[in-house]
Amino acid sequence: MGLSLINQMAQEYTLELDSLCNTVLNVNENIQAVSVINKQGRAVHKIARTGTGLPMQEQENEMLLMQAAITISMGRDFDEPLGEIGYVHVERKNLSLFSFPIGDYIVLVTSKAAIGSISLARKVATAVRRYKILP
């Protein structure tokens, strides 16, 4: 496989992730950021609204991403008897976190707290299902 083909595939992959993140971000104005993370909890892509960064150190942010990955991973242990995870929701005082498994990745959505969580989760899940992340 030539280097130019690899570069082209990487660009297409980035455009697909951009499209996914922007689609989810546009679901609701209360959504602050959308990240795509891998199984190890590392962000492979992120889009955030201006001025909505979390008041955390980089190391704390990495730990938050790892926590989301571990929660989804452990939940998958029960896929056979209980069915696949649709999403995981964590409600905190200052924000809500939603984790949506999609293939080998997780779409992590942060939003303002105290909004219609179930309604928002359903809308985001519908948007996420339209995408198929490349391996």
Name the pTM for this structure.
Answer: 0.84
Of 4-13, 24-33, 106-115, the least confident: 4-13
Identify the band that residue 54 occupies on the pLDDT scale cut at 50, 70 and 90.
Answer: low
Helix (H, G, I), strand (E, B) or coil at 113: coil
Listed in sequence order, the residues at least 6 apart from 128 whose beta carbon sits closer than 8 Å to its beta carbon are 20, 24, 100, 102, 107
- 54 in Cβ contact with 65 (< 8 Å): no
**96 is written with which tokens?**
């809500």
> How high is the pLDDT of residue 9?
63
| Cα–Cα dist 56/9, whole Å | 34
Higher per-residue pLDDT: 44 or 135: 44
Q: Domains (ranges, CATH) in the chain?
A: 3-129 (3.30.450.30)
